[in-house]
């Protein structure tokens, strides 16, 4: 990829700047809710005049201490998130008034029981399938219970008007984010996968949604203009990759950065910290709870069984982004993504006729060299 304009603050810099922002927010009396998952309907949080703050951790630093309580052979995302809470080293956890979890994977839901001993953790009961008639109804009721929980917790009333306002605001953000995360559709790509990942993850540490939208819209324009002036009409022999699987913020450097340095472009990131959660909007008319239930039950995480929409969405992304190969990131001991990877490989290779590489890894640097070798061999295969 040609050199793109305007280097951005690193993920670590933004995370540190966010420490100060969350402290200031709390001191100004703002409500903060810690969240762990894309299934949490954050519109309800905004409607409570609170801000959601993502707590999924990406650092190996607190893992040894987490292992004094949790088993070693557990997903690094779960261990790191719990470790930060246990060691009181995460200001985002510290300043959260309440934590919201959800019954996704077994590891997370059992960890939430222990987390609740450190700070109150409310767990949304997510159905583990979309394919039975009551699933949507149950999830709708669960969203209403969550609203009631926040009303009790803060002693407030959350009106449907407030929820509708939050739906519109979040939809606007989804539009802006989808445009930014679709820059990889251009040929040659107008953005690196590393930038997409770093920027979207860092955005979680900036709490003003309007400011976030402005920043992403401006960056999209800047990159589009650069592409028009300097890249359009040129050719590229860099393979175009789709990255799927578990959230990859803790392994971004050793996989996404590494493969791009080796000569590929990660044009689309089909994960919870990528485009996956931005594509579907919430209906703005009709019953707000129906609309939220529909949107959030359709998140295509492997915790859903069966999970056919994931394949349909992946197929569309492969075609629209003109993808040459797929890399799947599987965090160690993530059984749902690991087992589903068999079907992903089958889908990618047999139905789409593309090469597939599955990488099972954790947050340590121990396998960095081995991963680089496998990425190199994969790119050679892609020609």
User: Does residue 38 interact with ligand BJ8 by CB under 6 A?
Assistant: yes
Which residues neighbour 249 within 8 Å (Cβ) at sequence distance 6 or greater?
11, 56, 58, 197, 201, 273
Torsions phi, psi of 327, nearest 5?
A: -115, 130
CA distance 19 to 26: 11
Residue pair 318/328 in contact by the 8 Å Cβ criterion: no
Binding segment toward ligand BJ8, per CB under 6 A, in 157-165, 249-257, 296-304, 318-326: 296-304
User: Residues 91 to 110: which contact ligand BJ8 by CB under 6 A?
Assistant: 104-105, 107-108
CA distance 275 to 278: 5
Minimum CB distance to ligand BJ8 smaller for 238 or for 295: 295
Minimum CB distance to ligand BJ8 smaller for 210 or for 312: 312
Q: At what angle do helices 308-320 and 335-346 cross, to 10 degrees?
A: 50
Which member of 70, 75, 259, 371 binds ligand BJ8 (CB under 6 A)?
Answer: 75
Binding segment toward ligand BJ8, per CB under 6 A, in 34-42, 146-154, 159-167, 190-198: 34-42
CA distance 25 to 52: 12
User: Residues 328 to 367: which contact ligand BJ8 by CB under 6 A?
Assistant: 331, 334, 336-337
**Min CB(253)–ligand BJ8 separation in Å:** 18
Which member of 158, 209, 299, 359 binds ligand BJ8 (CB under 6 A)?
Answer: 299
Question: Kind and range of the H or E element at 43?
Answer: helix 42-47
**Min CB(289)–ligand BJ8 separation in Å:** 20
User: Does residue 297 interact with ligand BJ8 by CB under 6 A?
Assistant: no
User: Does residue 314 interact with ligand BJ8 by CB under 6 A?
Assistant: no
Q: For residue 60, count other CB atoms closer than 10 A to its CB.
A: 17
Beta bridge partners of 268: 242
Which member of 34, 247, 355, 358 binds ligand BJ8 (CB under 6 A)?
Answer: 247
Q: What spatial distance separates the first Cα and last Cα of the chain, rounded to whole Å?
A: 16
Which member of 241, 266, 303, 371 binds ligand BJ8 (CB under 6 A)?
Answer: 303
3-state secondary structure of 139: helix
Report the relative pairing of strands 325-331 and 98-102 from DSSP bridges.
unpaired
Q: Which residues bind ligand BJ8 (CB under 6 A)?
A: 37-39, 75, 77-78, 104-105, 107-108, 246-247, 272, 299, 301, 303, 331, 334, 336-337
């Amino acid at each position: 990829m040609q050199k793109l304009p305007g280097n951005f603050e690193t993920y670590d810099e933004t995370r540190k700047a966010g420490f100060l922002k969350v402290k200031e927010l709390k001191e100004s009396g703002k409500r903060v809710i810690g969240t762990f998952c894309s299934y949490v309907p954050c519109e309800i949080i905004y409607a409570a005049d609170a801000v959601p703050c993502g707590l999924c951790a990406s650092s190996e630093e607190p893992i040894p201490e987490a292992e004094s309580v949790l088993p070693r052979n557990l997903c690094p995302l779960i261990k790191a998130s719990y470790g930060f809470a246990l060691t009181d080293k995460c200001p985002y956890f510290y300043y959260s008034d309440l934590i919201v979890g959800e019954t996704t994977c077994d590891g997370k839901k059992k960890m939430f029981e222990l987390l609740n001993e450190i700070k109150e953790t409310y767990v949304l009961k997510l159905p583990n399938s979309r394919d039975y008639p009551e699933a949507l109804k149950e999830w709708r009721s669960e969203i209403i219970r969550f609203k009631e929980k926040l009303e009790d917790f803060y002693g407030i009333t959350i009106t449907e008007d407030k929820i509708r306002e939050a739906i519109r605001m979040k939809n606007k953000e989804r539009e802006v984010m989808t445009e930014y995360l679709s820059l990889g559709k251009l040929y040659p790509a107008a953005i690196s996968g590393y930038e997409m990942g770093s920027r979207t993850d860092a955005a979680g540490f900036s709490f003003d949604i309007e400011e976030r939208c402005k920043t992403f819209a401006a960056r999209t324009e800047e990159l589009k203009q650069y592409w028009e002036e300097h890249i359009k009409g040129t050719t590229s022999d860099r393979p175009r990759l789709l990255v799927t699987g578990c959230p990859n913020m803790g392994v971004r450097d050793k996989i996404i950065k590494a493969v791009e340095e080796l000569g590929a472009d990660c044009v689309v990131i089909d994960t919870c910290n990528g485009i996956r959660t931005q594509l579907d909007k919430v209906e703005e008319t009709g019953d707000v709870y129906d609309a939220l239930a529909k949107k959030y039950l359709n998140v295509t995480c492997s915790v859903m069984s069966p999970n056919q929409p994931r394949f349909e969405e992946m197929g569309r992304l492969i075609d629209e982004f003109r993808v040459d190969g797929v890399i799947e990131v599987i965090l160690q001991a993530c059984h749902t993504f690991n087992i589903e990877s068999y079907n992903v490989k089958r889908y990618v290779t047999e139905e789409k006729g593309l090469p597939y590489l599955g990488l099972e890894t954790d947050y340590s640097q121990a396998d960095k060299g081995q991963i680089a070798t496998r990425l190199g061999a994969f790119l050679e295969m892609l020609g």
